[in-house]
């Protein structure tokens, strides 16, 4: 029996790539979002729904009876709405989708978090215990978006304490690059990738992290396949194997984050500031794409 996958947020920047990748891989895909995309993918079942409506979400999920759920839906950009709206919306969606997943009989639930929960860029100053950051470093979110994503991880952990019949994973996708952005389409912040590489200040705000949307899709497919290897409620960073920078981070981080200079000494060559070692070791996933191979200059 093939997997029946609900993907929430399937009309978003990351969601479109994930929906397409899962459909191509032969999964039965149901996309649930507030709106349907202008160019729907053949074979995908699209539903329009307000995921803040808990009863309607549970009713739809129960009707669909998925084997797995991937929760991507959220307000996706910090400060793009009032702080109270971002916190209420993202935390509410995470809870409603996870609760509906369990009620519907799904056995695998994967929830999208964000590296921004770690706290970089904090106006009060932020110095982690080490670089690269890994999943054992305690998050210190400083805005509502980061807090809402940390709450989403805790929602997954909470449900993992309520049932052993369902496996939960949270993942932190780095700055997502959609396929068309390699060819010059503007990124989430409005700059092209070439501009982000030519002006390190544009990527410094995200600690030079990034990941190709197709690599995120590969991670999700691998995670569903190998979820039995995972401690319930586990968290994973999902990023490229290199940094989005033409210079080593051992040179760039001291320039943009002087207080982290002593931590960046080992980030030589193309080493990123976020470790993906856990995903490699536990799930057997590695990213296939880099700006060095994908960027059309």
Average pLDDT, integer, range 123-134: 97
> What's residue 188's pLDDT?
87
For 136-168, what is each residue's pLDDT tens digit? Answer: 999 999 999 999 999 999 999 999 999 999 999
Q: What percentage of the chain exceeds 90 in pLDDT? A: 97
> What's residue 38's pLDDT?
87
The Cβ of residue 296 has, within 10 Å, a number of other Cβ atoms equal to 9
As a whole number, the mean pLDDT across the chain is 97
Could you please report the per-residue DSSP string of 208-225?
Answer: T--EEHHHHHHHHHHHHH
What pLDDT band is residue 50 in, cutting at 50, 70 and 90? Answer: very high
Average pLDDT, integer, range 47-60: 98
Which has the closest alpha carbon to 25: 3, 47, 1?
3
- The answer to whether residue 237 scores a pLDDT higher than 60 is yes
For 202-229, what is each residue's pLDDT tens digit? Answer: 999 999 999 999 999 999 999 999 999 9
For residues 246 and 8, what is the distance between their CA atoms, to the nearest angstrom? 35
Quick one: how far is CA 292 from the chain centroid?
22
Q: How many residues does the chain have?
A: 297
Just give the CATH number of 4-294: 3.40.50.720
For residues 231 and 55, what is the distance between their CA atoms, to the nearest angstrom? 30
> What's residue 189's pLDDT?
87
> What's residue 103's pLDDT?
98
Which has the closest alpha carbon to 98: 86, 112, 119, 84?
112
Quick one: how far is CA 102 from the chain centroid?
21
For residues 191 and 193, what is the distance between their CA atoms, to the nearest angstrom? 7
Using CB atoms within 10 A of its CB, is residue 297 exposed (0-12), middle (13-18) or buried (19+)? exposed
Average pLDDT, integer, range 12-40: 95
Task: Label residues 64-73 b or e (16+ Cβ within 10 Å = b).
Answer: bebbbbbbbb
What pLDDT band is residue 297 in, cutting at 50, 70 and 90? Answer: confident
Which has the closest alpha carbon to 152: 62, 33, 65, 70?
70
> What's residue 195's pLDDT?
95
For 242-277, what is each residue's pLDDT tens digit? Answer: 999 999 999 999 999 999 999 999 999 999 999 999
pTM above 0.85, yes or no: yes
């Amino acid at each position: 029996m093939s997997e029946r996958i609900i993907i929430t947020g399937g009309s978003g920047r990351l969601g479109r790539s994930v929906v397409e990748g899962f459909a191509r891989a032969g999964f039965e895909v149901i996309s649930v979002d507030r709106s349907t995309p202008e160019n729907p993918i053949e074979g995908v079942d699209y539903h329009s729904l307000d995921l803040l409506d808990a009863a309607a979400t549970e009713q739809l999920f129960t009707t669909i009876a998925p084997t797995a759920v991937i929760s991507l839906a959220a307000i996706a950009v910090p400060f793009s709405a009032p702080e109270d709206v971002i916190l209420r919306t993202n935390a509410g969606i995470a809870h409603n989708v996870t609760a509906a997943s369990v009620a519907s009989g799904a056995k695998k639930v994967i929830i999208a978090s964000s590296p921004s929960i770690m706290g970089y860029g904090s106006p009060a100053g932020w110095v982690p215990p080490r670089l690269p950051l890994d999943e054992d470093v305690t998050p210190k979110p400083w805005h509502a978006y980061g807090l809402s994503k940390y709450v989403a991880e805790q929602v997954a952990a909470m449900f993992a304490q309520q049932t052993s019949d369902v496996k939960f994973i949270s993942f932190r996708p780095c700055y997502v690059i959609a396929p068309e952005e390699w060819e010059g389409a503007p990124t989430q912040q409005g700059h092209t990738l070439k501009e982000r590489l030519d002006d390190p200040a544009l990527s410094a705000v995200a600690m030079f992290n990034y990941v190709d949307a197709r690599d995120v899709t590969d991670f999700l497919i691998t995670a569903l396949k190998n979820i039995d290897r995972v401690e319930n409620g586990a968290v994973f960073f999902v990023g490229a194997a290199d940094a989005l920078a033409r210079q080593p981070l051992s040179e760039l981080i001291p320039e943009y984050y002087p207080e982290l200079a002593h931590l960046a000494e080992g980030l030589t060559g193309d080493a990123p500031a976020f470790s993906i070692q856990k995903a490699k070791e536990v799930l057997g996933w590695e990213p296939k794409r880099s700006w060095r191979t994908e960027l059309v200059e």
